[in-house]
Amino acid sequence: MEFKVNSKVLEKLLSKIIPAVPTRTPMPILENFLFDIKDGAMYVSATDLEIALRSSINIASDENLKMVIPARLLYDIIRSLGETQITFNADGGSKLKITTDTGVYNIGYSSYEDFPEIPAVSKDKEIVINGLDLKKAIDQTSFAMSKEDMRPAMTGTLFEFTPDGLRFVATDGHRLVKYINKNIKSATEEQYIIPERAISVLSKLLDDADVKIYLSKSNVSFHLGDIEFVSRLIAEKYPAYSSVIPLENENKLFVNRDVLNSTIKRMMLFSSSSSKQVKFSISNNNLEVSAEDIDHGSDAVENIECKYDAEAMDIGFNTAYVNDILNHVDDESVVFKLHSPTKACIIEPETVKETEELMLLLMPVRLNN
């Protein structure tokens, strides 16, 4: 069979699917695209068994054919071509022949029978969310996912449907982020945990267009325009995170986010590699931030204006975690809600918004005095 396609159209299509191709895998078949030419359309898909991507374009072809083509080789050839007409020829044998005005390329292809089936997700339950809203939600929470496999649930991001809104939660035990999109209300309460790799690929695919989400017990499917993105879910129970969020943190510290983060970046140069500790000494509208590297005999202290009229307090944090958190609060001013040097601290943007809510929780570290 033979069909023709514009190089730039094909490049665009393949660029959407390539993120699902694993870079290292013990299953060589996964290093391929599945091409499924059927009734005038060409469906291209790829999977690493955890996530899968599929998209299609219309092509003029009388025959149907499935084939499995080395993904990176094909993608690299296509994108190295200028804009040109490409003819694919797969008549018999195990070679795909690609022809342009000036070149002929033969690529071995494999049988499609070994290519894993991409799970079909029932469309019974559909949620529609704007792509940028979803992107914001996962970008503001996903950094706090656990990198350790000890508790698999915490290696993903929780999507929690509630009557009040759609909650996104991530935690690694040291810090926790909860973001609520109040526009997406759900009659029932349901929890789904999306794995880290799906979150990171999804974030790059999202744009201003609406996204349709379909959920089953074991899989989630995102429809983004002409792209379908499927991921398995983490089949675990998410920790009962609400119970760790303190309610009685009455001591409020208001501080300019960029000023504090600039200070924190310098403190990261000083906080010793073993403790990674930064100390906040708060009193009377003044925040003294200090760090010490005992191994190298260096230390730093800076004073920042703030708003704070509660009791004076010294509290220690992991410097990198404070930096992470400040990078994810999208407000000029942040509030630290404190109770005591040993209790969890709540960090929030000062501005309260109508349609969304962001809360970050950070566990303090014991100060080494």
Residues making contact with a second copy (CB under 8 A): 70, 73, 76-77, 80-82, 94-95, 102-108, 262-263, 265-266, 269-270, 296-304
CA atoms of 32 and 38, how far apart (whole Å): 19
Helices 196-205 and 131-141, interaxial angle, to 10°? 140
Q: What residue type is assigned to position 68 of the chain? A: V
Q: CB 32 → a second copy: shortest distance, Å? A: 12
Nearer to a second copy, 92 or 163 (CB): 92
| Of 226, 165, 170, nearest in space to 194 by CA | 170
Q: CB 308 → a second copy: shortest distance, Å? A: 17
Nearer to a second copy, 33 or 270 (CB): 270
Q: CB 91 → a second copy: shortest distance, Å? A: 16
Whether 54 and 43 have beta carbons less than 8 Å apart is answered as yes
Nearer to a second copy, 18 or 193 (CB): 18
Question: In which order are the strands placed within the sheet that holds 345-349?
Answer: 190-195, 156-162, 165-171, 175-181, 356-362, 345-349, 333-338, 251-256
Nearer to a second copy, 82 or 163 (CB): 82
| Of 2, 9, 137, nearest in space to 62 by CA | 2
Q: CB 124 → a second copy: shortest distance, Å? A: 43
Question: In which order are the strands placed within the sheet that holds 41-47?
Answer: 65-70, 32-38, 41-47, 51-58, 227-232, 219-224, 210-215, 126-130
Nearer to a second copy, 14 or 52 (CB): 14
Q: CB 302 → a second copy: shortest distance, Å? A: 4
Token pair for residue 1?
């069979």
Q: CB 2 → a second copy: shortest distance, Å? A: 19
Nearer to a second copy, 245 or 269 (CB): 269
